[in-house]
Amino acid sequence: MKRVLVIEDNENNMELITFILETHGCSVLKAVCGREGVEKALRERPDFIVLDIQLPDILGTEVLKRIRAEEAGRHIPIIAMTSYAMAGDEQRLLAAGCNGYIEKPIDPERVIGQITRIVGELS
């Protein structure tokens, strides 16, 4: 069973992604803003992180940077979630150190497909 940290401020999205991940056998940790996300990521060292890019306090890319700056967070796979990504977003996100990204609206099969490609089987 994989431990996953979801960093997402929108309650509905949090519910949706948690439901999908739990259905596929993950145990989900939750953070509702960027700072909490960075703190939990470094403390809890989950198996992977799903990170919403538009957060209320700090930019998703900044969250990425802070996690990657610490030894504890350097190797945790991070999958970014974006709403309507542009070509530039993709490049920026990969450059900032994320391992993959998924676009909203979330399609359960595509999300699981993308995540397992990056982190392996979930359960």
Partner 1 sequence: MKRNGNTVARGVVAAGLLLAAAGPGRAAEAVRVGAYENLPKIYSLPDGRVSGFFPAILEHIAGQEGWTIEYRKGTWKECLDRLERGEIDVMPDVALTPERQQKFEFTEETALISWAVIYTRPDVVVQSFLDLADRRIALMRGSVYTSGTGSLPELLAKFDIRAEYVEFESYRDVFQAVSRREADAGVVNNIFGSYFEKEYNVARSPVLFSPSQLRFAFPKGSSQGARLKVALDRRLRELKVDPQSFYYRAMDTHLYGAPHGETPAAAADWTAVLTDGEKNWLRRHPVIRVGIDPEFYPFEFRGPRGEYQGIASDYVRLFNERLGLNLRLVEGLAWTAAVAGVRSGTIDVLPCVGRTLEREQWLRFSQPYIRFQRVIMTRLDMPFLAGLKDLESLRVGVQSGTSHEGFLRENSPAEPVLFGSLEESLLALSGGKVDAVVANLASAAYWIRKLNLINLKVAAPASPEQYTLHFAVRKDWPELLGILNKALDLVTADQQREIEQRWVAVEYKPGIERRVVWRIGLRIAVGVAVVLLVILFWNLRLKKEIGRRREIERRLNYRERFERLVAETSSRLVAVKPAEMDRHIQVALAEIACFTGTAAGYLYAFGPQERAERTHAAGDLEALRAAEPGDRDEEWLARLRAGRPVTVSARADGEEHLVRPIRGRVVEVPCATEEQVTGFLGLLDTRPEAPPWSDEDISLLRLTGEMLSSALRRKQIEENLERYAVELERANRQLQDLDQLKSLFIASVSHELRTPLNSIIGFTGVILKGMAGELNDKQRDQLQRVYHSAQHLLALITDIIDISKIEAGRVDVYPQVFRLDEVIREAVESIRPQAEVKSLRVECGPLPELEVFTDRKRLRQCLLNYLSNAVKYTEAGSVRVEARDLSERFEVAVSDTGIGISPEEQAKLFEPFVRLDSHLRIKAGGTGLGLYLTRKIAREILLGEIEVRSEKNRGSTFILRAPRRRPAQPGEEKPS
Q: How distant, in Å, are the alpha carbons of 1, 44, 52 from that of 84?
A: 31, 30, 12
- CB-wise, 33 or 42, nearer to partner 1? 33
116 binds partner 1 (CB under 8 A): no
54 binds partner 1 (CB under 8 A): yes
91 binds partner 1 (CB under 8 A): yes
Residue with tokens 């990056």: 118
108 binds partner 1 (CB under 8 A): yes
Tokens of 59: 């930019």
Bond from prior residue into 56 cis (ω within 30 degrees of 0): no
- CB-wise, 20 or 98, nearer to partner 1? 20
104 binds partner 1 (CB under 8 A): yes
Stretch that binds partner 1, among 27-35, 39-47, 61-69, 78-86 (CB under 8 A): 78-86
88 binds partner 1 (CB under 8 A): yes
19 binds partner 1 (CB under 8 A): yes
Binding site for partner 1 (CB under 8 A): 10, 12-13, 16, 19-20, 23, 54, 83-84, 86-88, 91, 104-109
